[in-house]
Structure 1
Amino acid sequence: MKQIAEKPAFKINGFAMLLVVLALLVFSGWEGWRFFAEITLRTNWGALAWSTLALIAFFLLVPGFFTVQPNRAKVLIFFGKYTGSVRDDGFWWANPFTGKVAVSLRVRNFNSDVLKVNDKHGNPIEIGTVVVWQVVDTAKAVFDVDDYEEFVRVQVETAIRALASRYPYDAEEHELSLRGSPDAVAQALTDEVQERLKVAGVKVLEARISHLAYAPEIAQAMLRRQQAQAIISARRLIVDAAVGMVQQALEHLERQNVVALDEEKKAAMVNNLMVVLTGDQSASPVINTGTLYG
């Protein structure tokens, strides 16, 4: 496929050209008046010819006027050949036989539909994105793709599916995931979409996930899984802290010579402390007041 790069088009200030066109109209009227004023005296075919030529030139030049609004451009096409683009806003004149295609250079948002895809682990998830983009090459946007707006929509959805297949919805520590690494995933999505849209002369300014959830058929199961993982993590933290506290307590008792404990009593003490520190409910102590008989 032949690649077409944007280039500036030949143009003339519209107000300056307007004076020329008005002068042609005045000249045509003047010569026409001369022809009809002298028709009873003699036939002034020269005046008629000049009047006709000036009038034809007037009608040929008028279609060349066009305006360009801020952050918009006009792509000029002369009998099927690209002649250039006009980005400067204002009132301009160009070859009247060129077609003029308007292209917006403004920043636009694209909100994708919520798609149902599979993540890296094969879990069905729902994902949607918002992509901020703008046209930076008008020639590519008009000539290299059929409809650049539709092209953006299709390629964004394709990029979403490709991205979701490379990351899990949720992951353990030190692993990127769709839910746990929003900035890294956003950058990866931006790069993925940009690579697909550069052929259309489109620049991606930002791309982020706007909707992320498990598919309804597994949402409840995954919710219970997340809850279980949270409980396991909390238990692991509690156990680690309890072991440290028991070790400190034993070392403190030995260092201060508060009480002499053999291995059996240490084991019992460790067991009691671990039960108290890791239990779900508050411990109910049993006080030993001694025996009635020695």
Structure 2
Amino acid sequence: MTMHVPTMSLREFDDAQHLMPPGLAGRTQRMRACATRAAWCGCCGVARRLLRLGFAAVRHGDGETAEVLVTEAEHYLGDGRHPANCPQAPPRPAVRDSRAPAQGQVPGWTGSPGALVAATDASWKHGTCGIGYAAGDGRWGMRGWTFGPQDPTGPRRVLVSELRAVGLLLDRVEDGRDLVLLVDSLSALRYLRAWRRGDTGLMPDGYDLRPRRSGAAPSLVRLTRQVVGRPGLRLEYVKGHSGHPLNETADSLASIARRRVTETFDSTARAEGLVEAFLHAWHRTGGIAA
């Protein structure tokens, strides 16, 4: 049962919103309908609760926590199932191809001493997929696409997407770096560990192993080579949606990547703000791997 969260009056929202730091003021202003009107929408109810907590954090001088809370509220507003008549429902423009990855690095982070820690994740919904990764040194990346009738993925789309997220990360992180990889999919972890043991012929059911149109090897075949060829790679399981900062970041990036396939918004700025916020939380915990 969804917990009812009362809406705010217009005056209550405006008074609280005017206290927000400049970087958050515009973002919270876009939640006005969620805060004051969408009483019957479960997604908006969760986002409204997070928004109230964010307003309270600002009143107590905790801007970092407010950033995390507002980011999570945006995640629910953009990713949740809104009723058709919800005033906060995101627009649904025509589908466009966003296969090209978006990647970057938030400056000012060096990661924990020793091995680099990173997390990957995938998001799949209504034939559209997004994958993402985040590392403790500020590096991040995401990619989204739609599944067409000739897609080589096969029936295990979620599993293959989880593995492709790992490939996107390993393409970015240099081979000589010791790496602790956090994965919240036990199925994906079983394949990665099997490949580490040398069982590189094991592939998800139905995955098409024919060379791609470009002549390149399939992405999972390339991934097996990367996994086998990285002696400094350590694979760890982390429970999804348990509050682990890097896992939550990768999950949110995957959702942004999936949404940017069908929506028009500044996904890069959204990703960078999210990574920055969660890295503050990650480093406050001392960078514990799992």
Task: Please tell me the TM-score bracket, short chain as reference.
Answer: under 0.3
* Greater helix content: 1
What TM-score comes out, normalization by structure 2 length? Answer: 0.20
Larger radius of gyration: 1
- The structure whose residues are more often strand, as a share, is 1
Larger relative contact order, structure 1 or 2 (CA cutoff 8 Å, min sep 6): 2
So what's the TM-score if we normalise by structure 1? Answer: 0.19
